[in-house]
Amino acid sequence: MYALKPMTTEDLMTLDRLMPVPFVMINLSDPLYVSSLFRKLTGFSGDEITFRQSLRVIHPDQREMFFMRIVDILDHPEALESAGLKSNHLIKEVCLLTPEGPHWFDYHFTLVHYQGKPCILATLNDVTSKKLNQQALGRLINLREAMLEITQSVIGVECLDNIYDLVLKKAIQAIDAAEVGSIMLREGNLLKMAAHRGFKNELIDHFQLPIEESFLYKATNGKLNYIAKIDNISSLDNVYTIPLEDDGDRTIKSSITAPIFIEGDFFGVVDVESTRLAAFSDDDLKIMQFIRNHVEIAIANYLLYEDKRYLSQYDSLTGIYNRTFFEEVFNQVLDKAERYQEMFHLVLFDLNCLKVVNDHLGHLAGDQLIKRFAAGLKRITRKSDVMARYGGDEFVGIFYYTDETHLHQKMLDFLSELEQEEIIIDDTTIHNSFSYGIATYDKDGTTLQEMVRVADLRMYEFKDAYKAARPAIFSIMKDFGNKQP
């Protein structure tokens, strides 16, 4: 038989005077003995309240579990002994809704015999500071993990839109009061929507507004240089708000808005908003600062990564593929051709007279010829074709879905077009032109080396014939040959 410690009202009154923590005597049917500290804590005015009345001060998420726990203990006190507990105490955590706000307590249950019935003497130890510190630490850890996820996602992401959406999602998760949010980016004197959550899509997808009409501009008096906490958005003059997706009658009432700067230039804003007035705290400002700092780093890293990736793949002068990346692409083209028995042509181009122009008019003049040729090459190619600068004056292309006859005609038409363009450099008129050679996959080779060798031979055959047929185009060589560089 489970023996209960007997207690009297006098015992409880003594405890009330001596015990430095709140306590309450719990029984399912009778009024309870409530200590003075408990009454002060919860705001109850009477000396006695029932157990069901006391449930009102327990957080709604915990009431049912707390009630069932009390019932189970009072109905089966012997279970404590069978559970192997060496004492009569059970320690758990509970959140009470006090007049000062939520407070967390460790509660200690002791089974006693009071007024002829089994009762529970529950003592409360305030652990609110510890709980808040744990929650703050937990939020900080989660926030750091979120920012790490954003930073890691930069590498390999296809576009910044994915990063913006991730940033916004993490910001709303990290700031408790945040319900909706947006990221807008600067385009000239406008801010244009880049990501949003919680607004009606049909109204916000193409939303834009002048910078001076933004929350940030108004809240910072046009400075745009610090994070602003806006407790009442309606206090700002002439602001525009968009209905929320879940309820058109609700509107945002408070906001935290942060500027994004990249390399010292104003880049955009990130906002989180609430439908409550003054919903955000100073701690939320700190969280937004943390988010903003990492977002700026993530975007800057992405742009740097994109620059490096671009330079690793593209020729900086012409904006088309460089030789190294073309060779990688060619291997993919070759695999596809072998797998699906596809046919393609490789065309090798050589700019006529480029060396002479470089030697006598300088490389800036030669760069003009190269850029003019590359721009023309882009005009005559389709999205499926692949173009690259293969060397100083050599270009290479892969052409699909055409036969050699049509491809030759295409090259000759392009050559004729370039011949009509006069480029005047230092009072010297230059006609841009090129020679070319075509190699066909499988018929002329099955590797890049084999196809380039065939195309190169044909290109020089074409150059000899072209020089004989159009000597005027090559007269620049003779003219410069009589001049000193």
Any idea where the domains of the chain sit in the sequence? 5-126, 133-312, 323-481
pLDDT of residue 87: 42
pLDDT of residue 407: 95
Q: For all residues of the chain together, what is the average pLDDT? A: 84
Q: Is residue 86 scored above 50 in pLDDT? A: no
- CATH for the 5-126 domain, from 2.60.40.10, 3.30.390.50, 3.30.450.20, 1.10.3300.10: 3.30.450.20
Of 66, 120, 74, 135, the closest CA to residue 95 belongs to 66
**CB within 8 Å of 226: residues ≥ 6 apart:** 220, 259
- Report, at the CATH architecture level, how domain 133-312 is classified: 2-Layer Sandwich (3.30)
pLDDT of residue 477: 44
Q: Residue 84 — very low, low, confident or very high, per pLDDT cuts 50/70/90?
A: very low
The domain covering 323-481 belongs, at the CATH homologous superfamily level, to Reverse transcriptase/Diguanylate cyclase domain (3.30.70.270)
Longest dimension (CA), the chain: 125
Per-residue pLDDT tens over the stretch 266-277 = 999 999 999 999
Side chain identity, residue 296: E
Per-residue pLDDT tens over the stretch 152-210 = 665 555 567 778 888 888 888 888 889 999 999 999 999 999 889 888 766 677 788 99
pLDDT of residue 185: 92
Per-residue pLDDT tens over the stretch 346-396 = 999 999 888 888 888 888 888 988 999 999 999 999 988 999 999 889 999
The 3-state DSSP class for residue 475 equals: helix
Domains 5-126 and 323-481 share a fold: no
pLDDT of residue 475: 59
**CB within 8 Å of 353: residues ≥ 6 apart:** 369, 430, 433, 473, 474, 476, 477
Quote the crossing angle between the two packed helices 448-469 and 323-340, to the nearest 10°. Answer: 110
Please count the CA atoms within 13 angstroms of the CA of 273 that sit on its side-chain side: 26
pLDDT of residue 251: 84
Per-residue pLDDT tens over the stretch 263-306 = 889 999 999 999 999 999 888 888 888 888 878 887 888 788 77
Span 425-432, average pLDDT: 78
- Concatenated DSSP letters for 42-109? H---SSEE-HHHHGGGB-HHHHHHHHHHHHHHHH-THHHHHTT-SSSEEEEEEEEEETTEEEEEEEEE
